[in-house]
Structure 1
Amino acid sequence: MSIMNNPYVQIRRELHQIPERGFDETKTQGYLLQYIQNLPKEHIELKTWKTGIFLRVQGTAPRKTIGYRADIDGLPITEETGLSFKSLHEGMMHACGHDLHMSIALGILTHFATHPPKDNLLFMFQPAEEGPGGALPMIQTDFFTQWKPDMIIALHIAPEYPVGTIATKPGLLFANTSELFIDLTGLGGHAAYPHQTNDMVVAACSLVTQLQSVVARNVDPLDSAVITIGKITGGTVQNIIAERARLEGTIRTLSVESMKKVKERIEALVQGVEIGYNCKTSIDYGSMYHQVDNDVKLTEEFMRFVTNETNVNLIESKEAMTGEDYGYMIANTPGFMFWLGAESPFGLHHSKLNPNEDAIGVAINTIISYLNFKAN
């Protein structure tokens, strides 16, 4: 299915123009609902949840229900692609490929709405993957319980792989992630009288330096973890000693145990800064995402299918420090996620990300074939 005859490329471009923040995806939900409204309704049932959508396709002789997840939110990034169909929402962009994810899901859905599957299918258009996290509350709904799938699959575009490539692995694929916000409050004052103040810029700088020792001296060298402080704010003008400072960052670990150890050490260091700099502190971990741990049996089966039954090139990938709240969906339900090659010179979350749209057809055809294979 090439770009020239693939209607889902145009759908992707229209969705690309309306990126929205998590749980504010009203235009996106409306677009999806309008498209679904035009599908044959004999075998489908739909329920909305917040700005997300559950859609069940009734199988002809169901033995199980297979779930398919597509995330729908955008990112607060100003687009710099120069595309004719660039974002119409100022300061927002589909910079993580969710526009492709949705168009792929609609392509798969359309096929099975017009060619009823043997098994039941549950499509989940999930809001807020980029934050604050929509997967966990979505699977806690009565809708999910009522239509609970026996397995779930999902994909994510990968700009670093060429079109026609799928990459995945059994077991751990994506890391545990947690946001990190640390607020420091001291006593500000005139720059000429530092002895009468408690300078939070100095305290913040000291804390950033100390945080770099957490991974090096508290995590097993054979394990992996990352602490990144991506933003520091503090003070008002050049001649006033800062009363407040704030650190914003992220924590990534390849095990739940390491996440616990890292947080314990961060909390100990923050307590030390509180004492050493005579200030008040607070920590907020914001959104926390569970690791994406692919079911070994299902993933190996999928990898064999791709190798033996398709023209797609399969790569066994390594685990990555990226985060995905899809991990919550397969924490208690067997499932897997895979990378879809979308070759772009710019990576995920970049203002110039421009995936190769031929990836859309590759994904639609592969997933349709795989779901038919699972029904046999």
Structure 2
Amino acid sequence: MSKINPFIQIRRDLHLIPELGFKEFKTQSYLLNYLNSLPQEYIEIKTWKTGIFVRIKGLSPSKTIGYRADIDGLPIVEETGLPFKSNHENEMHACGHDMHMSIALGLITHFVHNRINDNLLFIFQPAEEGPGGAEPMLNTDIMTEWKPDMILALHIAPEYAVGEIAVKEGLLFANTSELFIDLKGKGGHAAYPHHTNDMVVAACSLVSQLQTIIARNVDPLDSAVITIGKITGGTVQNIIAENARLEGTIRTLSVESMKKVKKRIEAIVHGVGVGYECEVKIDYGSMYHQVYNEEQLTREFMEFVRKETNIHVIKCKEAMTGEDFGYMLEEIPGFMFWLGVQSEYGLHHAKLNPNEDAIVTAINFISKYISYKGN
């Protein structure tokens, strides 16, 4: 039996221990153990909460190139049946962050042994799935000291084959915001509805009204989404509900549309409060800035990969996906791209099973690109 590639094994080890945002203690420990096993002469390691900064000193640096990998999992019960499926109940690497980490470790290993002229900064970021780790990491003293001049990141894409990447200049991922709306009225006996303010009825009315925002308040040539994914309310079948809660998400392709959508939500919610004589509160939870790829760097990356590697580059369309890497791109020129991993099941699915060959593929072509940029 042939020996498994060490970075595929690392991915499997990490897949066993998915952890939610800012709770990635085992993950951080695993990463640090590996990083500390590497030659330490030209490497510096600093931690922030459950995240890690890794700096590799260049031979004669004129700039710093950054690379970001996210490290958290999702609250999903895994259904892959894999021999290395999650050991953590109700938690899974269903977004491929285990792949992201193993690729980053492969790149670090390569550049520790094959130093280039420029400095490199690798960022293992917690809480990408929520509540968001990119923005607070940007504001650390470590980032101030080691801030890169450019930065890149990838995200696995089940719909593309191994050996394919997808990317575009400009807007890649949408602006996103969570949405939580709590309604509180007067409950009571089901036989006396006229003595109550039914929050189930109010919540249903609110859901219908929220959908009119996209149809009637957003430019048809723009794009926006309001999705209510969860409604809770009431206690038993014969009591009129005193409380209800809506949980959802907002996604827009422009910052202006996000502001407009939220303004309309607030107006509609206020109207429901008046109309149903209830208290209504809005919480936007985590908000992620759009992922906007710097045009020149992205074009240069696409041209390099086409000419210097055997990777097939696909120019994709923007997506309503949310990614807090957008905060880093707001401060640092750079880009994100999709990495093909050819899985039958998509992101955030309990049966997501990426093709692990993509790990070695990614390490090889990204190390070539970083070497080209840093020498």
SS of 1:102's equivalent in the other structure is helix
TM-score, scaled relative to structure 1: 0.99
Aligned pair 1:62/2:39, yes or no?
no
Residue 179 (structure 2) pairs with residue 183 (structure 1): no
**1:250-278 residue CA offsets vs partner (Å, 9 max, x unmatched):** 00000000000000000000000000000
Q: 1:148 Cα shift? A: 0.7
Distance 2:213 2:283 in 1: 18
User: Whole-Å Cα distance in 2 between the matches of residues 115 and 43 of structure 1?
Assistant: 11
Over the matched positions of the two proteins, sequence identity in percent amounts to 74
Aligned position for 1:78: 77
What CA deviation, in whole Å up to 9, does each residue of 1:262-303 have, x standing for no partner?
Answer: 000000000000000000000000000000000000000000
Q: Secondary structure at the match of 2:274?
A: helix
State the alpha-carbon separation in 2 of the partners of residues 215 and 63 from structure 1: 48
Q: Partners of 2:67 and 2:332 in 1: how far apart?
A: 12
Partner of 1:243: 242
Q: Matched residues in 2 for 1:103 and 1:199: separation?
A: 51
Counterpart for residue 330 of structure 1: 329
The reply on whether 1:18 has 2:17 as its aligned counterpart is yes
**1:117 Cα deviation from its structure 2 partner:** 1.7
- Give per-residue Cα distances to partners, 1:179-231, cap 9 Å, x unaligned: 00000000000000000000000000000000110011111111000000000
Q: CA RMSD, aligned part only? A: 0.8
Q: 1:135 maps to what in 2?
A: 134
Q: 1:24-57 deviations in whole A, cap 9, x for unaligned? A: 0000000000000100001100110000000100
Q: Measure, in 2, the Cα distance between the counterparts of 1:248 and 1:198.
A: 21
Whole-angstrom CA distance in 2 between matches of 1:85 and 1:218: 48
- For the residue of structure 2 that corresponds to 1:330, the secondary structure is helix
Letter in 1 for 2:68: R
Give 1:155's aligned residue.
154
Deviation at 1:241, TM superposition (A): 0.1
> Who is 1:145 aligned against?
144
For 1:287, the equivalent position in structure 2 comes to 286
Give me the whole-angstrom Cα distance separating, in 1, the residues matched to 2:247 and 2:7: 38
Q: Deviations over 1:122-157 (max 9, x none)?
A: 000000000000000001000000001000000000
Q: How far is the alpha carbon of 1:106 from its aligned partner?
A: 0.1
Which structure 2 residues correspond to residues 324-363 of structure 1 after superposition, within 5 A? 324-363=323-362
Q: What letter is aligned with 1:325? A: D
Per-residue deviation, residues 301-352 of structure 1 (Å, max 9, x unmatched): 0000111000000000100000000000010210000000000010000000
Deviations 1:47-90 (A, max 9, x none): 10000000100000111100000000000000000000000000
How far residue 174 of structure 1 moved from its aligned partner, in angstroms, is 0.2
| Superposition deviation, residue 118 in structure 1 | 1.2
Quote the offset at 1:375 in angstroms: 2.3
Partner in structure 2 of residue 314 of structure 1: 313
Residues 65 and 374 of structure 2 are in contact (CA less than 8 Å); yes or no, is this contact kept in structure 1?
A: no
**Paired amino acid for 2:71:** I
Contact 2:58–2:117, Cα closer than 8 Å, also in 1 = yes
Unaligned runs of 5+ in 1: none
The AA in structure 2 aligned to 1:335 is G
| Amino acid paired to 2:305 | V
Q: CA deviation at 1:5?
A: 5.1
Please list, as runs of the form range in 1=range in 2, the aligned pairs for 1:195-274 lying within 5 A after superposition: 195-274=194-273
Gaps of 5+ in 2: none
Q: Partner of 2:225: helix, strand, or coil?
A: strand
The residue aligned with 1:30 is 29
Separation of aligned partners in 2, 1:84 and 1:34: 23
1:170 aligns with 2:194: no
For 1:361 and 1:268, the matched residues in 2 are separated by 51
The alignment of Structure 1 onto Structure 2 pairs a total of residues equal to: 374
